[in-house]
Chains A and B, each alone.
Chain A
Amino acid sequence: MSKPLEGILVIDMSQFLSGPSASLRLADLGARVIKIERKGSGDLCRNLYISNVEMNGESSMFQAINRNKESFEADLKNPIDKKAVFQLISKADVFIQNFRPGVIERLGFSYTALKAIKPDIIYAEISGYGKKGPWKDKPGQDLLVQARSGITALTGNQDSDPTPMGIAVADIFAGSHLTQGILAAIFQRDISGEGCKVEVSLLESVLDLQFEMITTFYQDGGQPTVRTKTNNAHAYLGAPYGIYKSQNGYLAIAMASIPVLGNLLECPALLVFENTQSWFDQRNEIKKILANHLLTQPTEHWLSKLEPADIWCAEVMNWHKLMQSEGFLSLDMLQKVQMTDGYVYETTRCPIRIDGELLTSTKGAPKLGEDTNVISQAFLAN
């Protein structure tokens, strides 16, 4: 199968996670992605956004985000290097950057400048908070965007501190939305012949992730967000929605009729909640009854009562258990990739299947500047 973006060239000047996660997706869909990295130090992700796990000289984060890409090292303040990058862009379909507002103009790679050398370029950019207003120059960093966006009021229980999501969701959703915009723009360019500028911001993307809650907030007259006292999984949903401790682990129960649950679980205290309105209005009370009851038997016991009755429930797993499960193994979700020096590491693959086939790739992340010479010779011969 030919991958859908075969023949597309992406020049990626973005750093950290948001932009690079978009170019990773484009790469897995078949595009050729060349990272333009700062001479000597490279993508700031190589040094600043790091876990405590190093893999072949780089943080595990960088290795996960930048596989299946090439690296071209350039000093954008040096006229010779800058000219080379311009030449690359003149052959590209897509350009990506995520500098703070104003920086790219100073470097000379604004949309206007690039349109002059490649009129149908698709110019994609990610900012932290858009380009006007009092936050425009603030650092577009995931945790800070989460903090400002209201999302920390949704996770954890009522008396917990504001609880961030333990994944860089602002970065990842912004990257995903940018990918959507880029793909829509390529589709349109192939019809109209015209490029365009595509923009997303971390803040707008993480607000879009909350579109359900924000819309509820608008319609309920601006009531404060209230998480449930215990077992919270969604501030705007009634009982039993949550994760509960059992005798030997945890289980999740999603939407269900409370009296039906009461019968299946042999918990008579739940039978009085006949009115569906009470499942929301008295959710703290219901969850408390349920939490105490579920402690008395192991997870398997409860699932064996609930699953045959089509109640939406599941065991809570950690990665050890997940990766040993037949369900996970059937997905074929992992792949091994190799760096040019021979170092092999395992990672996840692209989550999209096309025509029944997986989109896999064996190429690991590049060492800083490892493709500079080859690219120079191929693209910049004259």
Chain B
Amino acid sequence: MQPLKGLTVLEFSQFMAGPSAGLRLADLGARVIKIERPKTGEAGRNIATKNMYMDGSSLVFHTANRNKESYGADLKNPADLQKIRALIAQADVMTHNFRPGVMEKIGLDYETVNAINPKMIYGTITGYGTKGPWVKKPGQDLLIQSLSGLTHLSGNADDAPTPFGVAVADMICGTHFVQGILAALVRRNKTKLGAWVEVSLMESVLDLQFEVLTTYLNDGKKLPQRAKVNNAHAYLQAPYGVYKTADGHIALAMGSLTKLGQLLDCDALTTFQEPTSWFSQRDDIMAILKDFLVQKTNNEWLAMLDPHDIWCAEVLHYERLLSSEVFRLLEMDQYIPLQNGEVFHTTRCPIKFNEQPIFSPKPAPRVGEHTDSINLEFNLL
């Protein structure tokens, strides 16, 4: 099932947040056309992890831009801009993440676009919204994480501020952007009217922290205290954490510490009978567990805990997870042939409709690859 089949999305967005949203819309069935600067294309084509490139663009670009087409246009060239305006008249959604003011200068701001196509869903991503002193700051993931307080939640009490090791602000913001666009499309089915959908990396990463921020706002504004050792969540009680064992690591989530002590045969835990102590003496308890759990292997501990429905798990790395039977049965990966003959191996969309996973064999486009065919198809003269 392709719920968005028939919709055309114009993607002026670059880097990760906007393109990851475009990818989701594409996998849900929309036709996504990237509008790119001729020859060089979007800047994300040159942002690489491990300096890795395929078919002329960075691996990261391929990951976030598969299943799309590319139309080359110089937005400062009046002839190109005229074609883009004609394309906008025939599209359903457009997205961009230019800094505030840029689209106004080009002449593709919301009001202008709305006059060309009143049914257009116009999506904007910014770093920090459109007013205030941060508006001109670069909307980059690590900087947003750092300003937002997020770096005080991971790692242990004495560690430096610890950022999340994925571009979590970009990723969460991309999901919110898709939500806003889809909700506006639902409204458009009824009203026949377009909408202006705005998200920002900062608001999205604050929303990501909504539970813990709500706690902070209502507990007299006490700053989060990470556990001294084995921290996994500043606001949850012992044993919540990841622990080293004789041959690896295991995670222990929430549960009765009394029961845990009995099952592990850990006498030192029996003194913590009172559930309130699982919070107030969290560091003591976790230190005991830390010293205790190194004695046996993952399998030995899990054999003691699993049958009793204690929430625990072995910590895995990609090597083991991605070659496991579990992963094979998830059918979470796909192989996509590129135009230069290389094969690109990546993941798929995480949503299923009517029990069917969504695979999309179309690779990321080369810059301007579809300019001529789109000119013909949409009659752009």
Cβ of A213 < 8 Å from any Cβ of B? yes
Distance (whole angstroms) from the CB of A65 to the closest CB of chain B: 7
CB neighbours of A252 from chain B (8 A): 142-143, 145-146, 163
A224 with B317: CB separation less than 8 A: yes
Contact of A353 among B198, B254, B309, B345 (CB under 8 A): B198
Cβ of A345 < 8 Å from any Cβ of B? yes
- The answer to whether residues A327 and B142 also contact, given A162-B249, A190-B186, A220-B50 and a CB cut-off of 8 A, is no
CB neighbours of B140 from chain A (8 A): 254-255, 312
CB neighbours of A176 from chain B (8 A): 172, 175-176, 179
Stretch at the interface among A131-139, A259-267, A370-378: A131-139
Cβ of A379 < 8 Å from any Cβ of B? no
CB neighbours of B212 from chain A (8 A): 51, 167
B244 with A347: CB separation less than 8 A: no
Digitize A53-95: 1 where CB-to-B-CB distance is under 8 Å, 0 elsewhere: 1010000110111000000000000000000000000000000
Tell me the bound Cα distance from A52 to B346 in angstroms: 41
B333 with A254: CB separation less than 8 A: no
B346 with A215: CB separation less than 8 A: yes
A187 with B316: CB separation less than 8 A: no
Tell me the bound Cα distance from A31 to B329 in angstroms: 35
CB neighbours of A5 from chain B (8 A): 183, 186-187
Tell me the bound Cα distance from A353 to B129 in angstroms: 10
A192 to chain B: closest residue by CB: B3
Cβ of B274 < 8 Å from any Cβ of A? no
Distance (whole angstroms) from the CB of B347 to the closest CB of chain A: 5
Contact of B154 among A163, A174, A348 (CB under 8 A): A163
B47 with A255: CB separation less than 8 A: yes
A141 with B253: CB separation less than 8 A: yes
Cβ of B350 < 8 Å from any Cβ of A? yes
Digitize A211-241: 1 where CB-to-B-CB distance is under 8 Å, 0 elsewhere: 1111111111010110100011111111001
- The answer to whether residues A219 and B59 also contact, given A143-B240, A188-B3, A353-B198 and a CB cut-off of 8 A, is yes
The interface centre, meaning the residue of A245, A310, A322 with most chain B CB atoms within 10 A of its CB, is A322
A353 with B199: CB separation less than 8 A: yes
Cβ of B115 < 8 Å from any Cβ of A? no
CB neighbours of B218 from chain A (8 A): 53, 55, 60, 63, 345-346
- The answer to whether residues A4 and B313 also contact, given A64-B211, A219-B54, A348-B207 and a CB cut-off of 8 A, is no
B233 with A143: CB separation less than 8 A: yes
A317 with B146: CB separation less than 8 A: yes
CB neighbours of B261 from chain A (8 A): none
Tell me the bound Cα distance from A199 to B223 in angstroms: 37
B325 with A162: CB separation less than 8 A: no
Contact of B353 among A144, A196, A322 (CB under 8 A): A196
Digitize A175-207: 1 where CB-to-B-CB distance is under 8 Å, 0 elsewhere: 011111101111110110000111111011101
Give the residues from 52 to 78 in chain B that come closer than 8 angstroms, CB to CB, to chain A.
52, 54, 59-60, 62-64
For the complex of A and B, list the 6 residue pairs with the smallest distance between their C-beta atoms, beginning with the closest. A330-B132, A154-B165, A166-B153, A183-B182, A64-B214, A147-B251
